[in-house]
Structure 1
Amino acid sequence: VRILALGFSILLFAHWDACLLYLSARLKDFDADRTWVGFLGLQHRPKSVQYLYAVFKAYSHMLCIGYGVAMPLSTVEVVLTTLSMLLGAALFAGIIGSLTAFMMSLDSPSAKYE
């Protein structure tokens, strides 16, 4: 149950992060020189495509894989990217810890026997 809760937390955080990343671009009127949405020309694409790119960008930050859609172009985007990387690393560390604890609990009967 704890692993599912952490998985849901990751999905929820990715959604919030994607919305904040898109909002930061929208507040700057999708300027191509100052926002990732304008840089990629997404402002006139369907909302589903915009959301897909925003979620992809959020997961790229959370996983710290360096496969970003576009580098941060404003101070707000730098702050959001940094927060996304830190919180993403913390969430994934929680998942690894939960999986490790679960695997150890599966082996507890044999550990008690010895």
Structure 2
Amino acid sequence: MHELSVTKSVLQLVIKHAEANKVSKVVGVKLEIGEMRDIVEDLMQKCFLFMARGTVAEGAAVKINVIPLTCICRDCNEVFPVDSHKGFDNLSCPKCGGINLVPYTGQEFFIKEIDVV
């Protein structure tokens, strides 16, 4: 359950940002998280609500935008979606058939917005 440590880091950054900007209340946090980070959304949201008690972020809503996994072919520069549930053993570029592939999206982890009042 890595959501706990990840949530702790996010909360610490949110609190630090709120304090630096003299914010008294954080009402929402928007995250962009890549599919390959394997975050269980409800678990992270529940962890945040629990850990934020007694802080400026108490009760803040956590919204997560999951960024799908895509790869780029190094042979032809085609970017294409990948279904991670099918595995990666027979993965090839749909345009040229090449197998010289690297992840393009799906590994991100960003605090996109902190909503305050």
Normalised TM-score (structure 1) = 0.29
**Structure holding more strand per residue:** 2
Normalised TM-score (structure 2) = 0.28
Pick 1 or 2: higher relative contact order, CA cutoff 8 A, min separation 6: 2
